[in-house]
Amino acid sequence: MLLDSASLYFRAFHGIPETVTAPDGTPVNAVRGFLDMVAHLVRTRRPDRLVACLDLDWRPAFRTDAVPSYKAHRVSPAGGESVPDGLVPQVPLLLEVLAALGVATVGSPGFEADDVIGTIAAAATDPVEVVSGDRDLFQVVRDAPPVHVLYVGKGVRNLEVMGEAEVAAKYGVPGRGYADFAVLRGDPSDGLPGVKGVGEKSAAALVTRFGSLDALVAALDSGSDAGFPAGARTRLAAARDYLAAAPAVARVRTDCPLPAYDDTLPAAPADPAALVALAERWNLDSPLNRLLGALAAVRG
């Protein structure tokens, strides 16, 4: 099980009131919510291995060099990512808690969590479940060995298991074509403008017809009109530079360097004393007990 950590802790922060605090008044809503999400996932999905994947660079240079608008709307006036004040101190606390629990946390300098997930999933020889509220990760699904996305857009208790068939049924493209589909259609949440005049249905039809964006661009460059719906060739030709650059943004990397890590689902805390201290200081007894109970049930 691969956790898109930022996706989950942002969701927890916005889903639980900031009035949930430690004794000193510091909000701990994101940490408590994250731990409860993981407890539910461990208890219901029963993974053998677990990795919390991290953004060590939320807006990598190789993506902004390709498309400068990538996540530009999320940049704070100070230049970093715009993060709610109440969430900022909770992220390092969450990492401390995961370390004390013995849950692997993995990031790669210069890459996003999506790239870490893509790299681990691509190399996996056993089934993989990716937990995220980010549709971009639909591109990593495959049938064999199976990789599914547990999409938590409606919460972890109402997650959708997305595989090749589910992605194809919902978007009209296979999972491996989702990134190319997003390039054509656009993705405002990431600052991808898309091709003017190409909507969701047109994007799906083009990916299905040509098989990939690379093949579409090759056909465009050949000068042939074959396979292009009426008017589409002109619109695509006008966006030729964008079509060359945008795949570097939309496609998840599968080659980022990863540190050594132990992804075994912990049966007991790696550092019990540290965990007790963290629980007492930050009012985390209840969610930690629920997670520890879930881990023990699976590992027992």
Question: Above 90 in pLDDT, residue 78?
Answer: no
What mean pLDDT is predicted for residues 51-76? Answer: 96
d(CA 50, CA 266): 9
Q: Which residue has the higher pLDDT, 79 or 83?
A: 83
The closest alpha carbon to 246, from 185, 196, 293, 192, belongs to: 192
d(CA 97, CA 28): 12
DSSP code, position 87: T
Q: What is the mean pLDDT of the chain?
A: 96
Question: Above 90 in pLDDT, residue 79?
Answer: no
Question: Above 90 in pLDDT, residue 244?
Answer: yes
What mean pLDDT is predicted for residues 13-26? Answer: 96
Question: Is the separation of the CB atoms in 105 and 52 below 8 Å?
Answer: yes
Amino acid at position 159, single letter:
L
Question: Mind listing the domains of the chain with CATH numbers?
Answer: 2-172+257-292 (3.40.50.1010), 175-250 (1.10.150.20)
The closest alpha carbon to 152, from 184, 180, 129, belongs to: 129
| Residue 73: partners with Cβ closer than 8 Å, 6 or more residues away | 191
Question: Above 80 in pLDDT, residue 300?
Answer: no
CA 225 to chain centre: 37
Question: Above 80 in pLDDT, residue 192?
Answer: yes
- Classified as helix, coil or strand, 195 is coil
| H or E element in which residue 273 lies | helix 272-282
Question: Is the separation of the CB atoms in 159 and 7 below 8 Å?
Answer: no
Question: Above 90 in pLDDT, residue 81?
Answer: yes
Tell me the pLDDT band of 285, cut-offs 50, 70 and 90: very high
Question: Above 80 in pLDDT, residue 273?
Answer: yes
DSSP code, position 251: S
Q: Which residue has the higher pLDDT, 39 or 224?
A: 39
Find the farthest-apart pair of alpha carbons in the chain and give their distance in angstroms, rounded. Answer: 68
Question: Above 80 in pLDDT, residue 207?
Answer: yes
Amino acid at position 140, single letter:
V
